[in-house]
Structure 1
Amino acid sequence: MPHKFNAERRDKIPKQRHRVTNWAEYNEGLRRRGDLTVWISEDALALWSAPRRTTRGGQPHYSDLAIELCLTLGLVFKQPLRQTQGLMRSIARLLGVGIAVPDFSILSRRGNGLTLRLKPRSKSDKPLQLVVDSTGLKIFGEGDWLEQKHKTKRKRRSWRKLHLGLDLVSGQIVCSDLTQDDVGDPTALPDLLDQVDGPVDLFLADGAYDGERTSDLLAARFGSAIEVTIPPPRNAILSPNAAKDPTARDRHIAEIAARGRMVWQKATGYNQRSRGETLMGRWKTVIGPKLKARTFENQKTEAKIGVRVLNRMTGLGSPSFKRTA
């Protein structure tokens, strides 16, 4: 938002400079992202075969954990399913482990609605500070350049919408969802909040979440004491009872009108929402701007695995910055 208000004099505003204070730890964390021992555990190899089925139907050869491990390796090293099969086959041969590697067709079929293993619950009792944002991920179809240059008609939907919730305290993604491109942000918010395990005392989001629907939902889930910081639109008006019983939105509107939007951003801490946008940039750099899976259910599985990959990489080490200018 700031560049919109400073566009005319942006070249005269000095750029902030920061210095990384933990280069040694951060470099080691970056190296470990390519370490196979980080992504392959002995527990996963021990639970490679599926348990015996007690109901009617065929007996699966591979456990859900084995399928998840193969799909995770393919996502980390950016390999299609066939190359993922070859990668896992070579890893098993180098480790000297006598396991059968699932075929690429099995990976595709089992990825549809795959149940991921439960994440260990955090032992911290501190309330979450939640930042929610969304971005688009391409799937298939003609690219934007081809459509604009040659006026080609788009035959199929070419992107999905990824919704992520970031905890500012831990830096971990605590909730996620992948929806069709026509699903609005407030519509996807209830499913995101269902994944949050613990109290939340701060909620940051952009103007797409503005409205009573979002504020009422947050108050019902986390209590009326939660601090909700959502920028109202330029034409926002006060509620009828603003003089006697102003809401948080009324206070935001009044402060913006009195002191300006830039001052309101600094006073409310809304600038921290930029970490949500940074998270989207990390996703498209590390995971990729495009989904590899073809069906919607497989794409949802791919997005869930991508969240776990980013969280694992964040746990290996993150940079600490100190402002120098």
Structure 2
Amino acid sequence: MKGVQRDERTVAIAFDSTGLKRYGRDEWHQEKHKVSSKRSWRKLHLGVGDDHVIYSTVLTDKNTMDDAATEALCDQIEEEVSMVSADRAYDENHVYKTVEAHFPEADIIIPPKDYLHYNENHHPKRCAHMIEIAAKGQQTWQQHHQYGKRSGSETAMQRYKRTFGNQLHAREMSNQEIEVMIACGVLNRFTSLGMPQSYKSV
């Protein structure tokens, strides 16, 4: 994402997506006016660092699959990346190839889909995850590869919706793209001022 203040260290990036309503249309509006749901939602894709900074953002229609936004998300990231993590929706060979082309030194941590079996057609890093999970189990694999860092992307989604709501206000796609870019820039500004510290109550 352009305008992010850079430093000399590397970041771990997590990809994720969430839905945003288009200018207030909701399920009741769809039912009453027979509006197709695909017209009333956009999908916001984010690339979030382990420092809670949003490094990339892409807005698409609702039917765009998560993995299809990978190239556009990677294109916006100028930082040194040590790890890229995502959920099973991104477990595709082309995602591994795209991430590896942009960040050759980064670990790619994506849990394989349950129905997959090892074969030479899969990306080598994808195959390595299959073998390790079969040998050690899913939980051990997650702990070994620090998969828990992916929760930062989920936190970013919650921060976005709690701050700006779960709907877009602009009507045209081009303006909606600007709207989410501005919103993510504001969140990054908040992050630069300091994240809240949470403590367990006693």
> 1:161 is matched by which residue type in structure 2?
K
> 2:164 is matched by which residue type in structure 1?
I
Using the alignment, how far apart are the partners of 1:119 and 1:191 within structure 2? 17
Q: 1:202 aligns with which of 75, 83, 86?
A: 83
Which has the larger strand fraction? 2
How far off is 1:239 after superposition?
Answer: 2.0
How far off is 1:181 after superposition?
Answer: 1.4
Using the alignment, how far apart are the partners of 1:151 and 1:294 within structure 2? 20
> 2:160 is matched by which residue type in structure 1?
W
Query: Is the 2:81–2:103 contact (alpha carbons within 8 Å) kept by the matching residues of 1?
Result: yes
Q: 2:180 aligns with which of 294, 303, 308?
A: 303
Structure 1 residue 143 corresponds to structure 2 residue 26: yes
Structure 1 residue 164 corresponds to structure 2 residue 164: no
Structure 1 residue 252 corresponds to structure 2 residue 129: yes
Query: Is the 1:142–1:154 contact (alpha carbons within 8 Å) kept by the matching residues of 2?
Result: no
**Structure 1 residues 264 and 322: CA distance shift in structure 2, 3 A:** farther
- 1:291 corresponds to: 168
Query: Is the 2:52–2:152 contact (alpha carbons within 8 Å) kept by the matching residues of 1?
Result: no
- 1:110 corresponds to: none
Secondary structure of the residue aligned to 2:148 is helix
Secondary structure of the residue aligned to 1:314 is helix
Provide, for residues 226-276 of structure 1, a one-character-per-residue CA deviation record: whole Å limited to 9, x for no partner: 20000101111112389xxx8221221122222322222222111221121
> 2:181 is matched by which residue type in structure 1?
K
Using the alignment, how far apart are the partners of 2:162 and 2:4 within structure 1? 27
**Structure 1 residues 293 and 279: CA distance shift in structure 2, 3 A:** same
How far off is 1:141 after superposition?
Answer: 6.6
How far off is 1:320 after superposition?
Answer: 2.9
User: Is there any run of 5+ residues in structure 2 with no aligned partner, and where?
Assistant: none
Using the alignment, how far apart are the partners of 2:24 and 2:4 within structure 1? 38
Secondary structure of the residue aligned to 1:203 is strand
Secondary structure of the residue aligned to 2:43 is strand
- 1:263 corresponds to: 140
Structure 1 residue 232 corresponds to structure 2 residue 116: no
Query: Is the 1:131–1:276 contact (alpha carbons within 8 Å) kept by the matching residues of 2?
Result: yes
User: Is there any run of 5+ residues in structure 1 with no aligned partner, and where?
Assistant: 1-117
Using the alignment, how far apart are the partners of 1:228 and 1:222 within structure 2? 9
Q: 2:67 aligns with which of 186, 196, 200?
A: 186
Give TM-score, length-normalised by structure 2.
0.88
Using the alignment, how far apart are the partners of 1:140 and 1:320 within structure 2? 34
Using the alignment, how far apart are the partners of 1:199 and 1:142 within structure 2? 40
Secondary structure of the residue aligned to 1:133 is strand
1:30-109 equivalence runs, <5 A? none
Using the alignment, how far apart are the partners of 2:66 and 2:121 within structure 1? 27
Q: 2:10 aligns with which of 115, 121, 127?
A: 127
Structure 1 residue 215 corresponds to structure 2 residue 92: no
Query: Is the 2:49–2:152 contact (alpha carbons within 8 Å) kept by the matching residues of 1?
Result: no
How far off is 1:140 after superposition?
Answer: 4.0
Larger Rg: 1
How far off is 1:221 after superposition?
Answer: 1.4
Using the alignment, how far apart are the partners of 2:189 and 2:126 within structure 1? 36
Give TM-score, length-normalised by structure 1.
0.56
Say what the alpha-carbon RMSD is for the aligned residues: 2.4
Using the alignment, how far apart are the partners of 2:4 and 2:34 within structure 1? 47
> 2:175 is matched by which residue type in structure 1?
N
Structure 1 residue 281 corresponds to structure 2 residue 165: no
Using the alignment, how far apart are the partners of 1:269 and 1:241 within structure 2? 26
Using the alignment, how far apart are the partners of 1:281 and 1:215 within structure 2? 27
Aligned length: 200
Query: Is the 1:141–1:154 contact (alpha carbons within 8 Å) kept by the matching residues of 2?
Result: no
Query: Is the 1:127–1:201 contact (alpha carbons within 8 Å) kept by the matching residues of 2?
Result: yes
- 1:34 corresponds to: none
